[in-house]
Amino acid sequence: MAKITRRDVLKTGLATGAALAAGVAPAGRREAVSDPSPAPFKLRYAPHFGMFENCAGKDLVDQLKFAADQGFNAWEDNGMTGRSPQEQEKLGKAMSDLGIAMGIFVVNPVTAWKPSLASGNPDGVAEFVAECRKAIDVAKRVNAKWMTMVPGTMDSRLDHGYQMANVVDGLRKGAEVLEPHGLVMVMEALNRRRDHPGMAVNMVADAFMICRAVNSPALKILFDLYHQAIDDGNLIPHMDLCWSEIGYFQTGDHPGRCEPGTGEVNYRNVFRHIHQKAYTGILGMEHGKSKPGKEGELAVIAAYREADNF
């Protein structure tokens, strides 16, 4: 759910493969790669609005159609809560018609950036619970099950243990609201070394502990491979340790936060491991593109084809 840094000057080595594997041809308002019926991906990777707008155009439904043409069957949109109910319903219907599953949107866009939960402040907790109630209607309109939740910033006046206990108490209240509707908050630990110093939860081990303490099916871990590569490392062993609480994944290579193959993470091995664990959920593509324009968008598709080839 963080602001994405786009590094246009990175060299991916993918452009040649994208050019060989994908030619661009007009198709109404959209442009598709040459293979009209690509093989299904082994995992459910989810692009987001704007990722393919040079190929598909600005229209959001056209972007969904383009992604479906390339074999993607999932989607995510951090900002869905901020869209009008009419637009939410339109996008929900389009995804349903295309066989695209809705991934995450952000449940708490306001309290994610305040010490509302860590401080235990009753007004802050009430504000968070109100955000959870609002998210129920959004989820219904777009057929969503999962929503990103960030526990907010730390309260430096309190010791870590007290802050974590306060977070647990606040999340129990949110889970009580969402659980009867079958909705799931997926809690994201944001890295402190590169993008988000001062957040209450940085390490996946803390996210695991909080999920176990809340003990509700309405709270799971969002294992963001970009953030965890920075703060935790040791990705596959950490994944195994907290597997029982993982509800959702997000991707992005490090450094650069662009598509697989542009950084140090061996995404083919990571994706193979996730597949071998019989994961059937969604992997949100929460990252930028290493190259601008249509070339960059085709490089993203080629990168996922390559990483999914295990």
- Predicted TM-score (pTM) of the model is 0.88
The reported pLDDT for the residue numbered 35 is 53
Reply yes or no: is the peptide bond before residue 47 cis, omega within 30 of 0. no
pLDDT surpassing 50 at residue 48 = yes
Residue 224 — φ and ψ, nearest 5°? -85, 110
Q: What value does the mean pLDDT take over residues 59-82? A: 98
pLDDT surpassing 60 at residue 290 = yes
Domains in the chain (CATH in brackets) are 43-307 (3.20.20.150)
Lowest mean pLDDT among 25-34, 227-236, 275-284: 25-34
Beta bridge partners of 46: 284
Contact 8, 35 (CB under 8 A): no
What does the DSSP assignment read for 20-64? HH---EEETTEEE-S-SSPPPPSSEEE-BTTTTHHHH-S-HHHHH
Q: Which amino acid is at 213?
A: A
**DSSP-derived 3-state class of residue 153:** strand
Lowest mean pLDDT among 12-16, 161-165, 212-216: 12-16
Percent of the chain past pLDDT 70, that is, above it, reads: 88
The reported pLDDT for the residue numbered 36 is 59
d(CA 272, CA 150): 28
